[in-house]
Structure 1
């Protein structure tokens, strides 16, 4: 769901669009796949808006009215459910379940080889007063002594 929200962060989406349902239906889709769905829905809304504006302008011209006022509201102010429904007709998964399993196994192997994993815990001890605040360049608590390779400012 985070990818959908990120792809739509600057787009007005109608309140009745169930993002949780959309996220569930698109489970296993890549970020690019989800972005494509969102972009297609957005383009459908924009095209509809442009078509409505053109039709309104034509109607005004037939009735002898002046050109459209720039302060008029957008005829399609939001991306609606029907835009997403139409976009989903073209949706495709570019990554197979087998590829996802391979990636998950690779990620797990990589974490283990780097020493990361779910076993990491901070010690429960409080910092001793003799260690000081661990200011810049000192040996206090958080920086190994004499390890200038990791210090970007040394």
Structure 2
């Protein structure tokens, strides 16, 4: 708190904090002039999940069989971090396949250099939602409580 109080000299500085345990925020941090604004960000909806998939794969070579719209539909209840993990895992699986094929003497077809649907399917097998249904309900209750306390 002393560090936050010392920031007063810089008028254009602001601080953004994020937590998945808003009920455990120290009330001293919530006083005016500190972290006094609460904004609830729910899990991403379908359009947001699609944007996350597009963002995470924008520099990756995707196979023609990859349908990001379908993947976004399959990831209901996933957080942005969960979707990012699926994308990273699928890329790693594609790289492993390419290395294995190269070491095995299998000719490397152009499709082996792309992240295909099979890589996403395999990544989805181990993917999990990091936010439970109970947590979502808790966050919704918290959202309602901050709306009552601080209507914007």
Please, what TM-score do these two structures have when normalized by structure 2?
A: 0.57
Structure 1: how far apart are the matches of 2:100 and 2:87?
20
Tell me, yes or no, if the aligned pair for 1:49 and 1:74 is still in contact at 8 Å: no
**Runs (5+) with no aligned partner, structure 1:** 60-71, 117-154
What is the match of residue 140 of structure 2? 104
Aligned mate of 1:84, from 120, 131, 134: 120
What is the match of residue 100 of structure 2? 51
TM alignment of 1:1-20, pairs within 5 A: 1-20=50-69
Per-residue CA deviation, residues 56-111 of structure 1 (Å, 9 max, x unaligned), is 38x9xxxxxxxxxxxx9756221101111111111111111221132233234435
- Higher alpha-carbon deviation: 73-82 or 25-34: 73-82
Structure 1: how far apart are the matches of 2:84 and 2:111?
24
Tell me, yes or no, if the aligned pair for 2:63 and 2:111 is still in contact at 8 Å: no
Please, what TM-score do these two structures have when normalized by structure 1?
A: 0.56
Larger radius of gyration: 1
Q: What is the deviation of 1:113?
A: 3.9
Structure 2: how far apart are the matches of 1:107 and 1:2?
24
Task: Give the aligned CA root-mean-square deviation in angstroms.
Answer: 2.5
Greater per-residue helix proportion: 2
**Runs (5+) with no aligned partner, structure 2:** 1-49
Structure 2: how far apart are the matches of 1:15 and 1:108?
43
